[in-house]
Amino acid sequence: MNDGALNYIYQAETYTDAYTRLLARSNLPDKTVKIYDKTPRYMKYLPQVMEKVDVPVVCVVRDPRGVYWSAQKHWDSTKMELGRSKKIYEWLIAANKPVWLRTISQRYFERRRDLIKMDAFCEYYQTYGRAYRQAAERFGDRILLVQYDALCARPVEETRRIYEFLGLAFDEIYLTFPERPDQYVDRGGIRAELALEYRAHIGRRDQMRILRNTKEFSEWHWRDS
């Protein structure tokens, strides 16, 4: 969903109107079904949404390294434009330059592409965080901040906290899932390793770069040891 569609949705005056707009902009062929939308970019508009809709909000945040790895699995880096460095790399191939030179150029190109993507992600992450802070300053009693990493490490305690905030009774059975095919449900349940998957895929140097570039929200950096 692009920013234009999100703007159209969050400008609704009531929750019912917002839901109707969301359903209209969805790709679902059956517009009569009930849907749950977890578009992270709504967080950019959290102050505006909470100003119009008087509902409690559970805001789930995650260590930026985990968010970056999750996003990286869905990005298409081949569409990124890197200007001069990409042109040089393409010229080396077209000119049939030595393999070693093309290899070095390719590695440089890929690394530069990754760093640009990483730094852009960090800025987006902080943009969402700033919107949360603005909303918390104005509507603090209606917002519960939940750390995804803590939820994975302590599912019972954190889920109970969410239910209490919403004024609902909690039962640990809610943390089990039905035995039916569903591509969006992890059969292993909520567990700590879900939050730490990024460690096997993001090098230490890049992890430190992400933490450094999101230090404005260092309280969201998960420290499990």
Alpha-carbon span 168 to 160, nearest angstrom: 9
φ, ψ dihedrals at 75, nearest 5°: -80, 150
92 pairs with which residues across the strands?
Answer: none
| Residue pLDDT, tens place only, 91-148 | 455 656 555 454 555 565 666 677 788 898 999 899 999 999 999 999 989 999 999 9
pLDDT the model gives residue 171: 94
Considering only 90-99, 114-123, 195-204, 208-217, which range has the smallest mean pLDDT?
90-99
Alpha-carbon span 186 to 27, nearest angstrom: 24
Residue matched to tokens 């603090």? 140
| Residue pLDDT, tens place only, 51-74 | 877 889 999 999 999 999 988 877
One-letter amino acid of 4: G
Longest dimension (CA), the chain: 69
Whether the model pTM is above 0.75? no
Cβ neighbors of 82 (< 8 A, separation 6 or more) are 109, 112, 113, 116
Report how far apart the first and last C-alpha atoms of the chain are (Å, whole number).
37
